[in-house]
Structure 1
Amino acid sequence: MSPLTEREVRSSFVNASRGEVSRMRLPDLDEVEWDTLDFLGWSDPRTPQQAQLVTTTDEGSVGVALRRHQLGGGRARMCSLCMTTHPGSGVTLLVAARAGKAGRDGNTVGLDICADLRCSAYVRGLVPLPVMSRVPETLPVEDKVARLRLNLDAFLRRVQR
């Protein structure tokens, strides 16, 4: 992923008002290792039920504001983006309002995603897999990254419809 400026990140959100975007606390963009990311995902510790995801597409940067919905813990679940299986609360349901009028009318799209939003690091082997995921996947890293991008693009299309 190419580095983004604060202005590019803030202007990328398709499902949040200008006021919501201006109140978002962004991570330190100078500290981000952009070349290892397929998307920049974060949440502010002061608002743990909210999360944000920004990525670049052929059409430019796309940002999505998300809300966490905790499901019953204890059960292992798989991330729908990177296909990493986590125990307990390692995967959470993240819900995005649809862009435009549909979102203002209350329509949403949800997806089970790694709670720490580190999908890019899991597919590249940059962080250890959760204990549940010790069965090695046979796909090469490039194919895992491509699958992650396809899954992410499909989610973003659903939000933007």
Structure 2
Amino acid sequence: MQKITAQQIRSSFINASRSEAAKLNLPQNFDTLDWDNLDFLGWRDQKMPLRGYLIFPDGGSLTGVLLRAPEGGAKKNRSVLCEICRDVFSKEDVLLWVARRAGASGRNGNTVGTLICAEFLCSGNVRVEPPANEINPDPSEVVKRQITGLQSRTRLFLERVRGR
């Protein structure tokens, strides 16, 4: 992912009002992010922990969505798989993040949700090389497939937010 500015982030949202985008708090580590190893920028608002943001570069433009986490956080009685990274080894909590749909549909209260890592660490999860084995003798090829899958599933989720 290319480095982006706060203004680019604020103008990328497809399901947030201008005032919601203007009030967002950037990630605490925004100035030191490892942009080369991010497929999307995702974070929880430190002042409003039930609010999350996901910014995805696609085709030369940025698409941002405002997300909402469930009240009470993650339930500890069962494990669920993040739909974005699908990392079966991650010990991170996964939440059902919900986004208002873009446009009139969202203004009418329609939403769409998906399971995403609670702290949006998906880009790091897919870059963990598995041990070589008979089925996957080249771990770097596995990582490339995982990155491609993450990008594809993120794109599909954003299409659902757009209502397409």
Counterpart for residue 148 of structure 2: 146
| Matched residue SS, 1:16 | coil
Distance in 2, Cα, partners of 1:102 & 1:160: 9
State the alpha-carbon separation in 2 of the partners of residues 72 and 65 from structure 1.
Answer: 22
In the TM superposition, what is the alpha-carbon distance from 1:59 to its structure 2 partner? 5.1
Q: Distance in 2 between matches of 1:57 and 1:160?
A: 14
AA in 1 matched with 2:147: V
Consecutive unaligned residues in structure 2, runs of 5 or more: none
Partner of 1:92: 95
Uncovered stretches (5+) of structure 1, i.e. residues with no partner:
none
- Secondary structure of 2:85's counterpart equals coil
Over 4 Å off, 4+ runs:
136-139
1:53 equivalent in structure 2: 54
Task: Give CA-to-partner distance per residue, 1:26-79, whole Å, 9 cap, x none.
Answer: 124321111100100011222110000001001510000000014532201100
Give CA-to-partner distance per residue, 1:120-143, whole Å, 9 cap, x none.
0000028xx9xxxx9x99461000
**1:10 corresponding residue in structure 2:** 10
CA contact (8 A) 2:44 2:51 kept: yes
* CA–CA separation in structure 2 for the residues paired with 1:50 and 1:44: 6
TM-score of the two chains, using structure 1 as the length reference: 0.87
State the identity %. Answer: 39
1:108 equivalent to 2:111? Answer yes
8 Å Cα contact 1:64-1:96 kept in structure 2:
yes
In angstroms, what is the RMSD of aligned CA positions? 2.2
Distance 1:100 1:14 in 2: 8
1:68-83 equivalence runs, <5 A? 68-69=69-70, 70=73, 72-83=75-86
